[in-house]
Every structure is written in structure tokens, then in C-alpha cells.
Amino acid sequence: MLRTLGRALAVLLAFAAMVLFAALLSRATLQPSQAAESLTHTNLRPGDSIRDYLEQPEVFAVVQQLGGNILLGVPFGVLLPVMAPQLRGFLKVTLCTAVVMLLVETVQGVWVTGRAFDVDDVLLNATGALLGYVLVGRRLSRAVHVPRRSAEA
């Protein structure tokens, strides 16, 4: 009974964290930027934006662009398997994150002024989710969703 209550509380907290993350994600990625309108361009070729970032002379700008996109995916890798244990697994977490971020990028490219679709952002976000899953999400999910055989032993 207490274990079930703890599990339900953990899932509820993960859900609340995901809702908060979704709000922050939408604020960070779906805000129009009139000033950047002339600077944005759509990227449909994997690796092009990453290559451009790596060629920048300022290391801080490179870290900000690449690291920021990777960090944006980490909460998916940590929270998805806790909220939904059926999404546990390297491939499932990565694909689910890629689909969500593909939708975000599509909305950016179609409807948000000063933003553009960039396939590299999707790849970096999915990489972040994979890292979050490997470093924290897998263990956290297993702690919350103990397999029945282990719980009975």
C-alpha cells in the first residue's frame, strides 16, 4: 500500500515537472522574435547548423547553441520513463523526444516570427533525452516502477 502510494506520488511529481517543463519549453522556443527575423533560415540538412556552430570563433556561442539544445532534451529522458514505464528504453525515449521536438520545430518554422525549422535542433534535443535517460531516467524509472518479480521477492 505504502509502495503504491509512493509510486503514484512519484508519477504525479514527474507529471507536474513535465507540465512545468512544457510551459518553459514553449516560452523559450515559441516566442516571436522580430529582431531575428532576417537572421533565421530553415535547415533541413542534418549537420549543417551543427557545423556552422562549430565554426564560430566564440566558444561561448558554440556551447550555448549546442549545449542549450542538448540540455533542452534532458528532461524528456528523465521524466518520460517515470511517467510512462512503457516508454522506457533507449530507442523509445529518443524517438518520443524526436517526435515532440519535430512538432515544436514545425510550429516554429510555420507560425512563429523570427524562428525557423532546424533539423539539427531535433537531433540535439533527442541526444539530450538519450543522455538524460542513460544518466538518470533509467535508474529513476526502475526505482519507481519496480518489476513485480523483484517486488515480491
The structural domains of the chain, with segments of one domain joined by +, span: 1-31+43-145
Q: Looking at residue 148, what is its pLDDT?
A: 65
Q: Looking at residue 129, what is its pLDDT?
A: 98
Q: Looking at residue 32, what is its pLDDT?
A: 83
CA distance 65 to 14: 27
User: pLDDT per residue over 46-55, tens digit each?
Assistant: 999 999 989 9
Q: Do 34 and 114 contact (CB within 8 A), yes or no?
A: yes
Q: Looking at residue 37, what is its pLDDT?
A: 67
Question: How would you write the pLDDT of the chain (153 residues) with one tens digit per residue?
Answer: 777 888 889 899 999 999 999 999 888 888 887 766 665 789 999 999 999 989 988 999 889 989 999 999 999 999 999 999 999 999 999 999 999 999 999 999 999 988 899 999 999 999 999 999 999 999 999 999 887 665 444
Q: Do 114 and 32 contact (CB within 8 A), yes or no?
A: yes
Q: Do 73 and 67 contact (CB within 8 A), yes or no?
A: no
Q: Tell me the chain's radius of gyration from C-alpha atoms.
A: 18
| pTM for this entry | 0.87
